[in-house]
């Protein structure tokens, strides 16, 4: 009889008749959906949908829900295959997230349009089983103290960046442009604004090696980097020391320079809790094995002086995990750097890098500790129009996966990636709407929302 009941229940689930044949507990606890409208504008909105499987493991899933108001339409979705017929929406898992173990979750999302009201759906099914649970996660609870006060010395645990309480955290902040060109933008007023007005968790210091950078004055650039580390520390922000290799793309070209530089800054900053080392910005035109070889020579130099700090390793294809070179994250997963307490860099520019890059990040995030140490709201050239839809999709995904990020760029550079309008760095205002570009205004609005750093 038990076998017959199981067969009938399976058949009923396929037909969507779970309530007639399945025990009520299965329907009540089979799944949970958190549906959050992350942004809304006139006639349009973006929503994130987190699906948690609370029942038996599934290999292949379909989420179904009904739009509650006429005129609500899905226009573009990610991390799943989205379709809509009338008011009925169907979401089907794709290859990298189609298997959900008990307790596992998949994060998907979409942009949509609406006319009139935009109410949230209130009923969902996963493979025909009704989902229960919160339709929206509670807002984060602000914490007292600066990011460094609360989180202390960071470390890598599993695939996450974790704080002194051994809990996963996400840091959100901004990157300088090349300090050889825009050093005037990084002063007491601008860092006060970044910490207090923008409420940034981190400050990335982009020290180019070539292009009139470090190689022209090693002592001078090393000293300036250390000064900026101190300024970030004084304001309770984490400092990412970025050895900004770009041209040539093989980091081994600068191997000896890197060893000299990191031996110096690691010895000088070893007692600080706010320092993260990024050893090669964007390797390009080079194999992953060559990048790995470089990392395995530079990391021991840092560890000799500073054994506890997190190190970020650049990846192939301009730190795209190889995607920009036609590869994917598997080369890193299958051949990781032989070192502990490290993360891998992933960079994107929202107008150029979209669904296939987001898919690679989503897959990799379950296997590798990732840090988005640079991204832009515009094209990969640093110019062109800001892509608000793609940028918001990226930021929502990073938030959902608790992946830390730094935006390019906290500067007045003559490119649309810049946060400031021309002339801003000649004054003392770095936070009001009058000095911010479209990109700067969007990033400030995202970064300045309350952090939710767990402390227990």
Domain spans in the chain, listed from the N-terminal domain onward: 26-130, 147-447
Class of domain 147-447: alpha beta
What DSSP designation does 200 have? -
At CA 35, angle to CA 29 and CA 39, rounded to 5?
170
Task: Give just the sign of the alpha carbon dihedral 322, 324, 325, 326.
Answer: positive
**Residue 420 DSSP one-character state:** B
| pLDDT at site 409 | 98
Q: How far apart are CA 95 and CA 288, in angstroms?
A: 25
Look at residue 142 in the predicted model and tell me its pLDDT: 61
Q: What pLDDT, in 10s, does the model give residues 256-305?
A: 999 999 999 999 999 999 999 999 999 999 999 999 999 999 999 999 99
Catalytic residue list? 282, 374
pLDDT of residue 36: 84
How far lies 333's CA from each of 107, 126, 317, 329, 360, in Å?
A: 21, 30, 16, 6, 12
Residue 442's pLDDT is 97
Phi, psi of 231 (to 5 degrees): -65, -40
Task: Give the residue among 370, 375, 441 at the shortest CA–CA distance from 408.
Answer: 375
Distance (Å, rounded) from C-alpha 358 to C-alpha 393? 9
Q: How far apart are CA 218 and CA 262, in angstroms?
A: 11
What was the pLDDT predicted at 6? 37
Q: Map tokens 């300024």 to a residue.
A: 231
pTM for the model stands at: 0.74
**3-state secondary structure at position 246:** coil
Give residue 28's pLDDT. 33
Where do we find the tokens 């179904």? Answer: 64
| Beta bridge partners of residue 436, listed in sequence order | 420
What does residue 396 show for φ and ψ, rounded to 5 degrees?
-60, -40
pLDDT computed for residue 140 by the predictor: 52
Which long-range contacts does 270-274 make (Cβ < 8 Å, 24+ apart)?
270/305, 270/306, 270/309, 272/229, 272/233, 273/148, 273/152, 273/153, 273/154, 274/148, 274/229, 274/232, 274/233, 274/236, 274/237, 274/238, 274/239
Residues of the chain with pLDDT under 70: 1-29, 39, 133-143
| pLDDT value of position 29 | 52
* 3-state SS, residue 220: helix
Please, what CATH class does the domain formed by 26-130 belong to? mainly beta
DSSP 8-class letter at 176: -
Residue 8 pLDDT: 35
Residue 323: closest CA among 335, 333, 331: 331
Q: What is the largest CA-CA distance in the chain?
A: 82
Specify the residue for token string 């990781």. Answer: 336
């Amino acid at each position: 009889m038990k076998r017959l009941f199981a067969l009938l229940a399976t058949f009923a689930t396929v037909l969507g008749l779970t309530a007639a044949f399945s025990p009520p507990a299965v329907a009540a606890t089979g799944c949970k959906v958190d549906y959050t409208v992350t942004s809304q504008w006139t006639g349009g909105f973006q929503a994130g949908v987190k699906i948690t499987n609370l029942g038996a493991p599934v290999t292949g899933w379909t989420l179904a829900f009904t739009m509650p108001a006429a005129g609500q339409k899905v226009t573009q979705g990610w991390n799943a295959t989205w379709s809509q017929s009338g008011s009925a929406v169907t979401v089907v898992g794709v290859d990298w997230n189609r298997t959900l173990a008990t307790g596992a979750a998949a994060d998907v999302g979409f942009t949509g349009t609406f006319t009139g009201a935009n109410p949230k759906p209130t009923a969902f099914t996963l493979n025909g089983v009704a989902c229960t649970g919160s339709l929206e996660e509670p807002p984060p609870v602000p914490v007292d103290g600066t990011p460094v006060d609360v989180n202390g010395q960071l470390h890598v645990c599993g695939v996450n960046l974790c704080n002194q309480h051994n809990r996963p955290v996400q840091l959100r902040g901004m990157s300088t442009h090349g300090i050889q060109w825009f050093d005037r933008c990084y002063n007491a007023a601008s860092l006060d604004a970044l910490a207090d007005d923008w409420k940034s968790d981190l400050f990335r210091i982009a020290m180019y090696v070539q292009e009139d950078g470090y190689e022209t004055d090693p002592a001078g650039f090393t000293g300036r980097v250390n000064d900026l580390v101190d300024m970030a520390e004084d304001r309770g922000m984490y400092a990412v020391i970025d050895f900004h290799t770009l041209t040539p793309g093989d980091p081994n070209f600068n191997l000896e320079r890197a060893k000299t530089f990191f031996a110096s800054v690691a010895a000088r900053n070893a007692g600080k809790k706010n320092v993260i080392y990024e050893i090669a910005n964007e390797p390009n035109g080079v194999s992953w094995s060559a990048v790995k070889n470089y990392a395995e020579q530079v990391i021991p130099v840092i560890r000799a002086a500073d054994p506890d700090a997190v190190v970020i390793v650049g990846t192939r294809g301009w730190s795209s995990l190889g995607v920009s070179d036609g590869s994917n994250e598997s080369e890193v997963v299958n051949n990781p750097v032989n070192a502990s307490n490290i993360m891998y860099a992933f960079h994107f520019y929202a107008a150029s890098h979209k669904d296939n890059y987001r898919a690679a990040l989503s897959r990799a995030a379950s296997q590798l500790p990732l840090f988005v140490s640079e991204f832009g709201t515009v094209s990969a050239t640093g110019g062109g129009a800001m892509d608000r839809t793609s940028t918001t999709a990226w930021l929502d995904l990073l938030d959902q996966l608790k992946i830390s990020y730094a935006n390019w760029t906290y500067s007045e550079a003559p490119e649309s990636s810049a946060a400031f309008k021309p002339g801003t760095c000649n004054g003392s205002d770095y936070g009001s709407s009058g000095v911010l570009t479209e990109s700067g205004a969007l990033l400030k609005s995202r970064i300045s929302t309350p952090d939710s750093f767990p402390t227990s």
